[in-house]
Chains A and B, each alone.
Chain A
């Protein structure tokens, strides 16, 4: 049995329906990718501890304190850059805007990554707690 026999008896309406469905679903896939946010987040780590987890859609400027001093990070138009850093070679600032991947400032131990981070964001009121943020604070209950 050849391929033509398989589709024998199909009507014009069949073919139109098939093409419409394929077209709709394809344009739907493209449309959804364009319209919906990808849920990307910017994660800022200092000294190996996550300090900030921010949505990439929201423009803002944050500063974190590393061993060398203050690093200022700017999020704008789904891009991230370091605007101020206490390190001597300023490689992190020269890297400029990134849309994906990471910026690493070794001297000040700051690592910024863009991606789909799954963990819960650190709680903001504690996020400037020295070198570790909330992850260094031991919970005391009682």
Chain B
């Protein structure tokens, strides 16, 4: 991990710091929102993960996920608790699944599709962890799974749409900066 951090470009460090801050802010904001059902979460931080993955690759995306999960749990006081374990498992699995789909066939899915994949695997990982670590009642998990996957599909679509808009704007801004640099 140390060597990995040293070998990382300075630019990467700035990106990771900035995007992690955004992700933590969204994660924290989300935990303040009242939800009708306790396990209903919007997964807003996934927007940042997805953008990081598409713009800067898996290394940046997974680093941001790890930083976000760890720091957000420290801030909310759930570090190393059940919520932290679920959050970590879900976050890492979701990031890796999006990267996997993206690397085997880039262009197959738009940000919306990738977000759906991320949401699905986030939920699957959490259900597995919840079963093996906490609940151990298969009928309860089976009963709740389709509901969670359904809600995940809806929130995943919303996050994907937001990611798509942000990415488009970011690319536009990037082009503008590059053009200005060229003309100077």
What is A's interface to B at a CB cutoff of 8 Å? 6-11, 13-14, 17-18, 21-22, 24-29, 31-32, 36
A11 adjacent to B161 (CB under 8 Å): no
Where chain B touches its partner, the secondary structure class is: helix
A29 to B147: give the CA distance in the assembly, Å: 7
Chain B interface size, as a band, is 20 to 34
Residue interface mask B83-111, A partner, CB < 8 A = 1: 00000000000000000000000011111
The A-B contact count (CB < 8 A) is: 65
A138 to B130: give the CA distance in the assembly, Å: 41
Given contacts A13-B109, A18-B157, 11 further A-B contacts (CB under 8 A): A6-B161, A6-B164, A9-B164, A10-B113, A14-B109, A18-B116, A21-B150, A24-B149, A28-B149, A29-B147, A32-B142
Name the contact of A17 in the complex, choosing from B113, B139, B161, B164 (C-beta under 8 A). B113
Q: Which residues of B contact A28 (CB under 8 A)?
A: 145-146, 149
B153 adjacent to A22 (CB under 8 Å): yes
B112 adjacent to A29 (CB under 8 Å): no
Q: Can you spell out 20 A-B residue pairs with CB atoms less than 8 angstroms apart?
A: A6-B164, A7-B112, A9-B164, A11-B109, A13-B109, A14-B112, A17-B109, A18-B113, A21-B116, A21-B120, A22-B150, A22-B153, A25-B146, A28-B145, A28-B146, A29-B147, A32-B142, A32-B146, A36-B139, A36-B142
Closest to B167 in A: A9
What is B's interface to A at a CB cutoff of 8 Å? 107-113, 116-117, 120, 139, 142-143, 145-147, 149-150, 153, 157, 161, 164-165
Where chain A touches its partner, the secondary structure class is: helix
